[in-house]
Structure 1
Amino acid sequence: MTEFIYAPPEGAPVVLYEDHELVLVDKPAGLLSVPGKGAHMADCMIARLRVGFPEILLVHRLDLDTSGVMVFARTPHAQRHLGLQFEKRQTRKTYIARVAGQVTERAGRVDLPLGVDWPNRPRQMVCHETGRPAQTDWALIRHEGDTSRLRLMPVTGRSHQLRVHLLALGHPILGDPLYASGAALAHPRMMLHAKELRLRHPDGGRGMTISAAVPF
């Protein structure tokens, strides 16, 4: 396995929406959501946002290699409100992925419990004995040569859920450094993007839908 070197892309945060309670951004692939271990991994989405929004607070995370919509809070009230929406599965997240192989069915649900693959951390794995329930709805958008473009709607929010569920289907996400292999690994980035996030605004509860264009 090639030694990991953290080399995040440069550039100021792409702000999709901001107001007095929250900020939504388009996180690039290759940038941590929060600081990693050690000074060399201090650069991250929340640190970059604090330059312009020193009061910013974390609500949720995206994997290092995943791009797309993230929401951050600007007040403790907003952080609590949004955190509860994620906890109670009241948010709606839509991802786009390119996966290896031609998916033959049009849509489906993966319902497989997930747990930590302890000898191979941070990898996760399907585990029917001690795993936590995890469900992912998916729909085929189109075939692209010998690959497929899918729309993914996670019902639960387990670590690496989409990545492990697609591997279990036999269609790993292209460029996934942990779960893809062979030709599926040979891509410049992991082909997983958080395209859309639906939530209720912490001030008044109105519904919001924020989208970020798919970069692949």
Structure 2
Amino acid sequence: MLYRDGLILVIDKPAGLAVHAGPSKAPNLEECFDALRYGLPRPPALAHRLDADTSGVLVLGRHPKALRKLGRLFSGRGTEKIYWAVVHGAPPKDEGVFDWPLLKLNTKSGWSVKVSDKGQPAATRYRVRGRTPDMTWLELRPETGRTHQIRVHCAHAGCPVVGDRLYGKVEPGRPLHLHSRAIVLPLSTTRPPIEVEAPPPPHMLEALQACGYVSPAP
């Protein structure tokens, strides 16, 4: 648990765990929500989504009124989401915006997303935080919430996320190096926004440290 108040819970989702049930019947995060009531009559519910392979900050609404409020924030631009990624190669500049439209494709073998003029507008701000000769640590701030947005934008820019088996290189045994680092939620007009961050997951630490990340002192 990263944060809790009367409206919301913010948890640190582990990589590799889907947020809700899928066709595979694999374990999912929603199965655990009943243990997160903290005295309320019903379990919390998802206010937004993260890919199964993405770790980090995930917001839950504790009751219907909270979920409606969060829905309005997430459907507009009321929230600020900050992600960290380690990518192969590097983007064209040290900071900028990926603004290619994205189209979701459904096929017999599954679905994926690609850059297409027929797609929906999508924008991701990025900034280089550190690098090695062949990898880059990026901070990314999506301004829209398209499916797989960061992963597809990075791949299209020539710097796919490390461990991205769908849009990048197949790297057996290497998890996706994409982490929902922080979120800013302006839930009140009379109080400062709620800011919550999640520490990087263990599987990303080696690559992050190679790129210059220094773990905080215990």
Q: Normalising to structure 1: TM-score of the pair?
A: 0.85
Say whether 1:156 aligns with 2:128.
no
How far apart are the structure 1 equivalents of 2:96 and 2:173?
A: 26
Residue in structure 2 matched with residue 179 of structure 1 by the alignment = 167
Deviation at 1:20, TM superposition (A): 1.7
- State whether residues 128 and 137 of structure 2, in contact with CA within 8 Å, keep that contact through their aligned partners in structure 1: yes
Whole-Å separation in 1 of the counterparts to 2:112 and 2:69: 30
Residue 214 (structure 1) aligned with residue 203 (structure 2): no
* Matching residue's letter, 2:174: P
Amino acid in structure 2 at the alignment position of 1:30: G
Counterpart for residue 11 of structure 1: none
Give the counterpart of 2:113 among 99, 109, 124: 124
Consecutive unaligned residues in structure 1, runs of 5 or more: 1-14
Match of 2:75 among 78, 87, 111: 87
Counterpart of 2:5? 19
Match of 1:48 among 32, 38, 57: 32
Residues of 2 paired with 1:206 and 1:103: CA distance?
Answer: 34
**Rounded Cα–Cα distance in structure 1 between residues aligned with 2:146 and 2:15:** 19
Match of 2:131 among 134, 138, 143: 143
Q: Paired residue for 1:188, among 155, 158, 174?
A: 174
Q: Identity across aligned pairs (percent)?
A: 34
Render the CA deviation track for 1:102-130: whole Å, top value 9, x for unaligned. 345210101111011233532100110x2
Where 1:123 maps in the other structure, the secondary structure is: strand
Q: 1:97 aligns with which of 85, 97, 106?
A: 85
Match of 1:29 in 2: 15
Provide the C-alpha distance between the structure 2 equivalents of 1:21 and 1:30, rounded to a whole number of angstroms.
27
Deviations 1:2-55 (A, max 9, x none): xxxxxxxxxxxxx101122110000000001111125x32x2222212223242
Secondary structure, aligned partner of 2:111: coil
2: CA distance, partners of 1:202 / 1:177: 40
Aligned pair 1:199/2:192, yes or no? no
- Change in Cα spacing, 1:123 to 1:109, as seen in structure 2 (3 Å) is same
Deviation at 1:214, TM superposition (A): 1.2
2:3, 2:10 within 8 Å by CA — same for their partners in 1?
yes
Is the Cα contact below 8 Å between 2:92 and 2:157 reproduced in 1?
A: no
Query: Normalization by structure 2: what TM-score?
Result: 0.84
1:28 and 1:159 map into 2 onto residues whose CA distance is 19
CA distance in 1, matches of 2:6, 2:23: 31
Q: How many residues align?
A: 197
